[in-house]
Structure 1
């Protein structure tokens, strides 16, 4: 690994926040930059009527989510390493695998948005793992501790 770049898939979910935080820590250890990438597109299937009523609104909402998530991680970590944000129109798996070409690492959260998409089309993480040309890290979502009986 010598390109000095970690790409992280961001979608506003807790899983992607955890992935971005993990990547920022890894980047600090490696003296590597982080690029947070969020894919967006408009099809109306999962659009939140309260936040997105048109493609322009969907893009604006996605941009706000991306930049808020990046700023939260920068504020929490106080990192001196660059974390850039990139908003790209397209399907998440295609956008992320393209963004990660030549990267040292691609980092994803294990669960993001899109239960309907997952049940119909499959997981973004699964598709990315099959298509990626660099190592992929999937940061797991913590499992709640079981209640003693």
Structure 2
């Protein structure tokens, strides 16, 4: 497990934002397909804060988990989601990037080295009436690589 980072650095491949929402799960599926078509690495980017991180299971009630404990919990959660969606032995190389930072910052930093950035149209936050989530909109406006915004399955 790596140290806590705020920026995500990738060298080519397909990056995808993952927050566990249905939209991000669909984005993960699409990004995996794109990575397979390109014979590229799939970079799974999970940004977190204390507010959005799953509480470590081994932390007693009333105690505040350490940053390292939160980081491990987020990484374990992302690993479980990737395994559930892509299988224990994915057909493509997968790298997880866990960043203690706002989602747009982590995704935009990943976009500087990625060939493609894939995001869901709506994540966990915001207002349901928006056509495009604020994170997706920021990625579309500011990413350094092409961005694919994944809509829900019809």
TM-score by length of 2: 0.74
- Aligned counterpart, 2:80: 68
Q: What is the deviation of 1:49?
A: 7.7
- Aligned counterpart, 1:147: none
- Aligned counterpart, 2:121: 110
Separation in 2 of the partners of 1:113 and 1:126? 14
- Relative to structure 1, the CA distance from residue 90 to residue 28 in structure 2 (aligned partners, 3 Å threshold; closer, same or farther) is same
Higher helix share: 1
Worse overlay, 127-136 or 62-71 = 62-71
Pairwise mapping of residues 1-149 of structure 1 onto structure 2 (< 5 A)? Answer: 4-42=12-50, 44=51, 54=65, 56=67, 58-75=70-87, 79-115=90-126, 123-142=134-153
Runs of 5+ consecutive residues of structure 1 not aligned to the other structure: 144-149
Runs of 5+ consecutive residues of structure 2 not aligned to the other structure: 1-10
Q: CA RMSD in A?
A: 2.8
Q: What is the deviation of 1:41?
A: 1.4
Per-residue displacement from partner, 1:37-94 (whole Å, max 9, x unpaired)?
Answer: 000112x4x6778979546454343223211111122218x63210111101101001
Aligned residue-pair number: 135
- 8 Å contact kept, 1:8–1:107: yes
Separation in 1 of the partners of 2:39 and 2:53? 38
- Relative to structure 1, the CA distance from residue 47 to residue 89 in structure 2 (aligned partners, 3 Å threshold; closer, same or farther) is closer
Separation in 2 of the partners of 1:47 and 1:37? 14
Q: What is the deviation of 1:99?
A: 1.3
Separation in 2 of the partners of 1:55 and 1:114? 24
- 8 Å contact kept, 2:14–2:118: yes
Per-residue displacement from partner, 1:88-111 (whole Å, max 9, x unpaired)?
Answer: 110100111101212110000112
TM-score by length of 1: 0.76
